[in-house]
Amino acid sequence: MASYINRLMASVDVENCTAVKLVRGVSGTGLHLGPPLRVAEQLAAMGATWLHVVDLDGARRGKPSRCVLDFVKQAAEDLGLHIQLGGGLRSLEALEEAYSRGARRLVVGSAWIRNPGFLEEAAQRLPGTVVAAIEETWEGLQAVHGWREKSPQPVVALAERASRASQLAGILYTQVFHEGELRGVDLLRARRVAEAAGPHRGGLWLGIAGGVATVRDIELLAAAGYDYAVVGMALHTWRINPLGLIL
C-alpha cells in the first residue's frame, strides 16, 4: 500500500448538517464553515483527492446521520473525492451502508473499544477499508462515545492491539486534548503510539489528528512514523497552505 510522507488529509466535521471545526469537540466553539458540499468543492479545487469527514451528530447518537451519508455520496460521486468517514459507525450494518454511499475508509472507535472482536470482524467483512480510531485524552486514556466518556484502557496498549488485526486499512490516532487548538502536536505521545503500532504494522496507514498547526508539525510526524496528518483548523484558517501537501 502506498505511503504518503509529509502529506496532509483535509478534514471537515459536520454538525446539524453544517460544516464546522470545533475545539476539543465542544459544540459552539471553533469555526462555522457553511454547507459541507461547498467546503468539499473548495478543498477539491485546492487539489484534495481525500477528505476526512467526521459525523459529530452520528458520534453522539451512535449511528450515522442521514445528511452526512448524503453528503458523502455527493462528494464521492460529484467531486470524485475519496472519503474517510468516522462518527457513529458502531455496527456492521452502519459500516456497510456508509461504504455503499461512497466512503472508502471507515473509522471505528467506540464499537471496537467495547468489543475488541468487532474490529477484526469488521475488517474481515470490508477488507482494506476499516480504520481503528485511537483517541487520546489528556490522561492518556481512550475517549469514547463522541469524546464524552473515557475508557480505562491506555492508548498505547490499544495501538499495539489494533496493529495486529488482519485486513485492517489503518490506524488513526487523535490527540483529543489538542483538537482544534492550533498548539502543535504532543510529539512525545505521538511517538509512543507510533512505536506501539510499529512492530506489527505491515502495510497499515498510520494517521494522526489533533493540534497540527504547521508544516513543521507534519515533517516531525513523518519522521516519527506517520504516513499522513489529518488537518482541519490549520487548513481552514490558512495557517497551512495545502498546495503540494494535500492528499
Task: Quote the pTM value.
Answer: 0.91
Residue 1 lies in a domain: no
Asked whether residue 243 is assigned to any structural domain, the reply reads no
pLDDT of 183: 81
Instruction: Specify the amino acid at residue 171.
Output: I
Residue 2 included in any domain:
no
CATH number at residue 211: 3.20.20.70
Residue 2 is predicted with a pLDDT of 37
Query: Residue 72 is part of which domain span?
Result: 8-236
pLDDT, residue 184, reads 84
Please indicate, yes or no, if residue 244 is contained in any of the structural domains: no
So what's the pLDDT on residue 141?
66
pLDDT confidence of residue 177: 80
Amino acid 5: pLDDT: 41
pLDDT digit of tens for each residue in the chain (247 aa)? 333 345 899 999 999 999 998 877 677 777 899 999 999 999 999 889 999 999 999 999 989 999 999 999 999 999 999 999 999 999 999 999 999 999 999 999 888 888 889 999 999 999 999 999 998 887 766 766 655 656 668 889 999 999 998 899 999 999 988 777 788 899 999 999 999 998 667 788 999 998 899 999 999 999 999 999 999 889 888 888 877 677 7
In a domain, 16, yes or no: yes
With a CB cutoff of 8 Å and minimum separation 6, the contacts of 68 are 14, 17, 36, 53, 55, 57, 58, 85, 87
Q: How many domains, the chain?
A: 1
Whole-angstrom Cα distance, residue 25 to residue 195?
A: 27
- Check residue 106 and give its pLDDT: 98
* Residue 83 covered by a domain: yes
Neighbours of 179 (CB within 10 A): 25
Residue 242 lies in a domain: no
> Can you give the pLDDT at residue 207?
95
Residue 178 included in any domain:
yes
